[in-house]
Amino acid sequence: MKYPTPQTLENVAQIINAQYVGDPNFEVLGQNEIHVVEPGDIVFVDHPKYYDKALESAATIVLINKEVECPEGKALLISDDPFRDFNKLTKHFNPFIASSAHIDDSAIIGEGTVIQPGVVVGPNVTIGKDCIIHANAVINYNCIIGNEVIIHSNVVVGGEAFYYKRRPEGYDKLLSGGRVVLEDQVELGAGTTIDRGVSGDTTIKKGSKIDNLCHIGHDTIIGENCLFAAHTGVAGCTVVGNDVTMWGRVGVTSGITIGDKAVILACSCISKSLEGNKTYFGTPAEEARGKWRELAAIRQLPDALQKLKSL
């Protein structure tokens, strides 16, 4: 998430009432999660286990809950609660925008696009040419829809991320300041939900087709020409390559990468990164041929045990 205008380290520190280490005029351009940070971004870290990862990341400003040695060329924001203060910055620079009508006056809708009854199009949404948005779909604020996109009924584009911190009094929500970007010729089946990024974009690239009742988590990137069957769920911060097929009820954990042209067979669960150009099956998913051999061997176990008893 980039700020509307560049900020200084001192200005940002004042917004969250934090101490800082570095030049007061050090440039701050935005904030992001660690896997997508760039120079000029703030990244937050509140656990010693991840201090080094944050300090060594591409981010040049680290929002941290302990004063540590500041790496050369970077700056620190010292906070007793970085999670809370990351949320403060999201609220300040990219607050929630309430809709004023079913189709907000600020929305831009391209020529030839059909909007069916009951659709909600939020503030600052851009929809391209020749799209079809079916009844009761919701496209929340700041989202971007390309050309020739089909969105079926009861789809939600731009819901908030499922991202919480456990505290003694309950769960604390990490606010979502990112967007959803659907590129040209994407199709979303009825009841599917696409969460916006926490601070970046959740992106579904050109030509990908997603069936009914699927879910794509925050900050995930789905490549071009992918095909996902019904009830597939992909957790946040996952990168899926081009031409990937996932059949029904596939579940994918967060923060992994799936290579180009991988095929995931139905009811499989993906718990780690997978290479492309292979077919996978099972829980946890492994190459299908090997998994089938395992299952065949398991089916033979009763006969083998019976033979052993008879010896």
- Chain position carrying tokens 């009854």: 117
- Please report the DSSP string for 88-154 in residue order: HHHHHHS-----SSSB-TT-EE-TT-EE-TT-EE-TT-EE-SS-EE-TT-EE-TT-EE-SS-EE-TT
Average pLDDT, the chain: 95
Q: Check pLDDT > 90 for residue 230.
A: yes
Q: What is the pLDDT of residues 47-97, one digit of tens each?
A: 999 999 999 999 999 999 999 999 999 999 999 999 999 999 999 999 999
Helices (H), the chain: 9-16, 51-55, 82-93, 288-310
Model confidence at 216, in pLDDT bands (50, 70, 90)?
A: very high
Q: Strand order in 19-21's β-sheet? A: 2-8, 27-31, 41-45, 61-64, 75-78, 19-21
Model confidence at 309, in pLDDT bands (50, 70, 90)?
A: confident
Is 218 one of the catalytic residues?
yes
Q: What is the pLDDT of residues 3-18, one digit of tens each?
A: 999 999 999 999 999 9
Domains of the chain: 2-93 (3.40.1390.10), 108-289 (2.160.10.10)
Peptide bond into 284 cis (omega under 30): yes
User: Highest-confidence range of 253-257, 283-287, 302-306, by mean pLDDT?
Assistant: 253-257
pTM score, whole prediction: 0.92
Burial class of residue 219 in the structure, from the number of CB atoms within 10 Å of its CB (0-12 exposed, 13-18 middle, 19+ buried): buried
More confident site: 301 or 67: 67
CA triple 201-97-174, angle to 5 deg: 55
In this prediction, residue 88 carries a pLDDT of 97
In this prediction, residue 186 carries a pLDDT of 98
Q: Check pLDDT > 90 for residue 294.
A: no
What's the Cα-to-Cα distance from 210 to each of 31, 189, 293, 306, rounded to whole Å?
A: 30, 6, 31, 47
The residue from 134, 152, 215, 218 that is catalytic is: 218
